[in-house]
Structure 1
């Protein structure tokens, strides 16, 4: 049963179609410049058009840009879209941005196919946060993945007791940290496997680069918040620094967002240290900008439960012959792994997002 709309819930949506409509309506009501990048070959789960939509509030040639992206990982877009729509309805925050001369750039549904079809990956099973690498050089190597793939993607689903025992044995032998790294940091050898990075730039990769060139080419300072879900304690928004591993860049992140900024390369983040995050494109496409990037990650379920639901979804891609009831259940459970459809969680998301946006605005204002 759907809940009545409250101040916290009314900005969120239950489908990609609804989320896109709310975003475009809210942006148009604010007089934003709108542009849609329509997917050229794929349609949504309901037969709808798929697009990455852009809303610009402020000068197109601004030197200081606050960029907020949603839906890099498909159904994580339910959270990110809600945060973006809430921002478009936040008159006080928008007035502060205008007074500071900071342009707001919102990119809705970086991965519209995954958002609509309830897959974390895109139309080619590519994890977009593993796809933004230099494909002209040898691909990153994750030698351990070949050992864990047969364990995490068994022949049948749900896993048998023997399958679970095999995973437990690997963890007992190598440790949980090594297991998680082998599974999640990204791999480029198994196209229908977990956390696959692809062998060429995806459509979404090319699209986000075009957006940066079109809307942030003049920027000297860029604060980029990419909203994610699925890792960490329930409702907590971890501030993950996915940028370059340099003391000055990490110091800038701490100066803007506080001591509770964690970097995957330092080993204290809920996120693995991955290759090719979407945010890394800023260094290529905005070479004249000082970039302050953040992955704002909201916790949902326990980490291993989220991973199990990702395993199920990847297994399903390998087994399209699965019964319809099982397909629906796996997709529902995946959606619930990345989107907590209740007032408490949504309120936590909106409150913490607003704090981060204000902090980013302050950082850009003083830059």
Structure 2
């Protein structure tokens, strides 16, 4: 495939993405740190790590944090955005003039990124894992009703499984079905959107990164890049923070900021999103948070591919051809490997970064 300005920042594997990120960060003389994931290897036998790049004064009061790969293969998109930023001399000069430090966190979930799983090494969805585990676990009573047909005994699902799902949707609506499935659940470790029973490696790692690099921040903007919800190529600005911060997000990023708790977002109102740890780890900072979500395929099609992937984790005996198609389908659900989509992503991401810089400057 020919390489365009847009495609050159993106990668086809976790190994390539990591190399491009580290090369670009080192070329900018960023402070680079790698936190290795011990005892686990990537899909190609490679070492796994979450890597950070910091550009700016130590102890900066204004920090722009951009993270990628919270949901495994969504990292292809987020990594491309981060590498593009590191290659954007104009954007970096603007950040420097404004006294805003840039903190890039590459591959929050390196295991899922490499192995093409949205969840982590323990089938935990990291955007359901950042909760207070000393308190009673959130209850999603509806999940038990949907799991039998969401994760049936065989794949593809039988006619009876499809009929059970259709009956549920007819009774509760598509919105009710999506909420039951995607809000998060803490009872079925092999199920979909499982939140875990303790903080994951990625959770602990990310908290350490915040404590190290944002302890002095008075204003912290955090953009977590995602894919898989909403119209093809459109970057929805999702506000995943506390209600008190929504007016500031609207002022910075415009009227097209949508909050899951308002019911206006493509995203469900999930339990325990990654960015929520800012309230624990940076209580001194005024946080402005965004999940930047780029659409790929129709939502229910993406959800069906996630179901297949989760089913496959419990069925390693599945035929090789079925395994391959499920893997490829999942990758395609979160990464549109074409120039058009990548160009749409980079254009919208750059606008968001400039809006965020303007917001931080005025803060």
- What TM-score does the superposition give when structure 1 sets the normalisation length? 0.98
For 2:328, the equivalent position in structure 1 comes to: 332
Within the candidate set 19, 26, 31, 1:28 is matched to 26
Q: Can you give the 5+ residue segments of structure 2 that lack an aligned partner in the other structure? A: none
Within the candidate set 292, 295, 301, 2:288 is matched to 292
1:222 aligns with 2:220: yes
Cα shift at 1:177: 1.0
Cα shift at 1:163: 1.1
Taking the aligned partners of 1:210 and 1:328, their CA distance within structure 2 comes to: 36
Runs of 4+ in 1 over 6 A off after TM superposition: none
Q: Can you give the 5+ residue segments of structure 1 that lack an aligned partner in the other structure? A: none
Taking the aligned partners of 1:20 and 1:204, their CA distance within structure 2 comes to: 17
Taking the aligned partners of 2:39 and 2:220, their CA distance within structure 1 comes to: 32
How many residues are paired up? 363
1:281-328 deviation line (CA, Å, top 9, x unaligned): 111000000000000000000000000000000000110111122111
1:268 aligns with 2:264: yes
**SS of equivalent to 2:148:** helix
Cα shift at 1:127: 0.1
1:183-202 maps to which residues of 2 (within 5 A)? 183-202=181-200
For 1:206, the equivalent position in structure 2 comes to: 204
Taking the aligned partners of 1:48 and 1:323, their CA distance within structure 2 comes to: 25
Taking the aligned partners of 1:309 and 1:52, their CA distance within structure 2 comes to: 26
1:315-364 deviation line (CA, Å, top 9, x unaligned): 00110111122111101100000000000000000000000000000000
Taking the aligned partners of 1:7 and 1:175, their CA distance within structure 2 comes to: 43
Taking the aligned partners of 2:220 and 2:243, their CA distance within structure 1 comes to: 17
**SS of equivalent to 2:178:** helix
For 1:177, the equivalent position in structure 2 comes to: 175
Taking the aligned partners of 1:90 and 1:332, their CA distance within structure 2 comes to: 31
Taking the aligned partners of 1:111 and 1:56, their CA distance within structure 2 comes to: 19
1:61-107 deviation line (CA, Å, top 9, x unaligned): 00000000000000000000000000000000000000000000000
- What TM-score does the superposition give when structure 2 sets the normalisation length? 0.99
For 2:248, the equivalent position in structure 1 comes to: 252
1:80-229 maps to which residues of 2 (within 5 A)? 80-229=78-227
Taking the aligned partners of 1:245 and 1:112, their CA distance within structure 2 comes to: 31
Cα shift at 1:41: 2.1
Cα shift at 1:40: 1.4
